[in-house]
Structure 1
Amino acid sequence: MRLQSSGEVAEAAYWARLYGRWESMDLAGVVGFMRGFERPWWVVGGWAIDAFTGLRREHSDVDVSIFASDVPALREHVGERWHLWSLAGGDMRPLTDKHPEVFGPDSQVWVREHGDAPWVIDLPLTPDRDGLWTNKYFPEHTGRLDEVTWVADDGVRYLNPEIVLLFKARLHRTKDQHDLERTWPLLSDASQDWLRKSVRRHYPDCPWKFV
């Protein structure tokens, strides 16, 4: 299992000092949290890479996504049990009856029990247009949910690994390079070709080397 770099640890400490501490749920906890939510949801980020490769690395949290249009359904799902906060560009505000709208369809929702409790789930929202999954960075990239995600043997839905890696190419951190290296040999030829072309098109300065 890969440990976090000193830079990643420092970054996590910075955000914890600014916004409050995290005690993230593990994947089983997230599955339990989402149980009974009747709208689509899927795991993204490093956990999605783990599921595809069958290899584990250390994670600071589990990122799970829903369509931005389903935030009202999420609020109904959690009721009074959990507090939901909208986060975008460093700004935060609670989702309440007075302020039920998120900052935008590409913002995040953080979850905790109350003001003295740690954050437990990070929910990066996914824009949806006409019922289609829509890439938050490149709106021309759309698809049906069953085209851009897959369901593992554990019954959990995950974002396709090549799309996860395209998101990671934007930051190309140490952990993202590691995720590329362990995923690339397992991708189909078509997925490799799509990822290579997409990274070169959208992130021409990305240092990743494709083999």
Structure 2
Amino acid sequence: MESVSELVNLSRLLNDFRQYWFVAGGWAIDLFIGDITRVHKDIEIAIFRKDQSSLREYLFGWEFTKVVNGKMEPWNEDEWLELPIHEIHAHTKNTLFSELEILLDESSQSEWRFRRNLNIARPLSMIRLRSDIDVPFLAPEIVLLYKAKNPRSKDEDDFYRVCRLLDEERQVWLKQAITVCHPGHYWLRELHAS
């Protein structure tokens, strides 16, 4: 189980990384809520695909793998990762934070774009929030959109914990995005009418 102290260590590790990065997944939900609501088996971070080389340079000396069709493979130093590859792992020794799971998000100059449907977008100014402990995290409506595809029990819990805490604009955006990607999804009944 990961702890808040590990989030702080992660933030210290990435403090000088000059590109956008944010905690994703279940931890992003808990950072939005401001409380640890469940056990988390890992910490995922997201960066923009365009920044993959910058992160690799920043984590000089780390070992990298990519996930291809559900299997880990080496990520070669000069290799540029394109869709559908969106998950990489980084490992090192002798540091407070030795393992990272990194998700590659799509973007344009001014918008985050949903990798499963690039027509779904969000202004960059809306996608990254900061927690009380100054850790950047991915906006909860985006996390929930990813979780909507095949919700597991923990995803259901995350949705019901956070959906009523979203302001109306975030709820409307999430409802519209789920309607496009997953028409008839039962989560739609819980969100504001658009």
Query: Which of residues 27, 30, 38 is equivalent to 2:7?
Result: 27
Taking structure 2 as the reference length, the TM-score comes to 0.82
- The 3 A distance-change label for structure 1 pair 135 and 120 is same
- Post-superposition shift, 1:52? 1.1
In structure 1, what is the equivalent of residue 20 of structure 2? 40
In structure 2, what is the equivalent of residue 122 of structure 1? 101
Contact map agreement 2:34 2:132 (CA 8 A) in 1:
no
Contact map agreement 2:120 2:177 (CA 8 A) in 1:
no
Using the aligned pairs only, state the percent identity.
29
In structure 2, what is the equivalent of residue 9 of structure 1? none
**Per-residue CA distance 1:95-134 (angstroms, 9 max, x = gap):** 333x4322537511101127xxxx8221010112235321
One-letter amino acid matched to 2:73:
R
1:176 aligns with 2:149: no
Query: Which of residues 36, 49, 55 is equivalent to 1:74?
Result: 55
Taking structure 1 as the reference length, the TM-score comes to 0.76
The aligned length equals 182
- The 3 A distance-change label for structure 1 pair 126 and 108 is same
1:113 aligns with 2:92: yes
- The 3 A distance-change label for structure 1 pair 125 and 105 is farther
Report the structure, 1 or 2, having the larger strand content.
Answer: 2
Contact map agreement 1:68 1:128 (CA 8 A) in 2:
yes
SS at 1:139 equivalent = strand
Query: Which of residues 123, 133, 141 is equivalent to 1:144?
Result: 123
Contact map agreement 1:170 1:206 (CA 8 A) in 2:
no
**Per-residue CA distance 1:133-157 (angstroms, 9 max, x = gap):** 2111120122332222222232222
**Per-residue CA distance 1:50-71 (angstroms, 9 max, x = gap):** 0111231111111111111111
Unaligned runs of 5+ in 1: 4-24
